[in-house]
Homo-oligomer: A and B are copies of this chain.
Amino acid sequence: MKRIGVLTSGGDAPGMNANIRAVVRAGLAAGLEVFGIERGYSGLLAGVLRPFASHDVSGIVNRGGTILRSARCAEFHSAEGRARAAQVCALHGIEGLVTCGGDGTFTGARLLWREHGIAIAGTPGTIDNDLAGTDHTIGFDTAVATAVEACDKIRDTADSHDRIFVVEVMGRRRGDIALHTALAAGAEVVLLPECPAFDLAAGVARLRLAKEAGKTSMLVIVAEGAGQAGSVAQAIAAGLPGASVRVSVLGHMLRGGTPTANDRLLATITGAEAVRALTELGRDCCHHLGVVANQPVRTPLDAVIGATKPLEPGLLETLEVTAGLRPGQDG
């Protein structure tokens, strides 16, 4: 392999720049040429790419966003689109791609490999933490850090005014951001898409318990896939007459900001490993690069795409216990 490309695709995630930097530099160190491709697959289709030198990725290890930008690309979902992408690769002599993104990104990449033999190394670039083959995904740590920092601020004003706050965080099908945020922020209740059983009625009952135990302020964290903050707040207000309930929707700010040290490290390791996988496996490379228990791990994309990673066991139980919401606890 002599020339590879790198792109970021899907929702952006803090740490993508550190990933790009690692891919470019590890590629150059391995004697490859590395092309940066703009705006994901749509840039690939449009041929918007250029060779990157080492200094082109200077000073970006700590930058949020992605200098390559990202975009959705409907055309790449079709066989014709992918054929055109393969033509662009052939035109520029690109034999392998590092694709930083999530499940959707990998699904497209695998097709490009199957249909056209472009080698693929996928790095886990998504704040959702929903990929198998890695303890965490790039951007997840920063997203949780941002959410927790916001919750710390919100707890201050909740305390001052004896209020209940419902804080909505990103996560349509996946509750990891909500669950980690709730545990780290010391929230009383969390609502997750994966856990209909741990539902709103149970949550209200918990808040009532907390109030009886003497708590005057409370935090409820809601993953967007488990309900809207506004309607959750209404249900709480209905269930706890007299309570002052307010809402905060954190939204897209979770996607930006200086990446945490963890995200930079994960992005750097997986970026360097992606290059190694491409050079070692060549055309057989259609793999995902992750880190498990501090060790780099290479997994076939087949084993990652569509695989569901279960919620970490026991965390909901731990939340309930440490929030002081068990009988006999006084808040």
Contacts and interface: CB of A to CB of B under 8 A. Distances in A.
Interface of A: 8, 12, 14, 16, 21-22, 25-26, 28-29, 31, 53-55, 58-59, 61-66, 69-71, 135, 141, 144-150, 152-157, 159-162, 165, 180-181, 183-186, 213-215, 246-249, 251-258, 260-262, 264-265, 268-269, 271-272, 292-296, 312-315, 318, 321-324, 326, 328-331
B312 A295 contact: yes
B162 A318 contact: no
Q: Chain B CB within 10 Å — which of A62, A295, A322 has the most?
A: A322
Nearest to A57: B324
A155 B256 contact: yes
A312 to B, nearest CB: 5
B61 A184 contact: yes
5 contacts: A12-B161, A31-B328, A144-B262, A269-B314, A269-B318
A168 B295 CA distance: 26
Given A161-B12, A183-B265, A156 B64 contact: yes
Contacts of A65: 156-157, 159-160
A323 B25 contact: yes
A329 B34 CA distance: 12
A232 to B, nearest CB: 15
Contact of A145 (B180, B261, B328): B261
Contacts of A326: 28-29
A16 to B, nearest CB: 8
Contacts of A269: 314-315, 318
A216 to B, nearest CB: 8
Contacts of A12: 156-157, 160-161
Contacts of A181: 261
B69 A159 contact: yes
Contacts of A53: 330
Contacts of A180: 261, 265
Nearest to A318: B272
Contacts of A26: 318, 321-322
Contacts of A255: 153, 156-157, 160
A189 to B, nearest CB: 15
A262 to B, nearest CB: 7
Contacts of A152: 62, 64, 256-258
B331 A54 contact: yes
A116 to B, nearest CB: 27
Contacts of A185: 61-62
Given A135-B293, A141-B262, A249-B249, 5 more contacts: A29-B326, A62-B184, A157-B252, A157-B256, A269-B315
Contacts of A16: 160
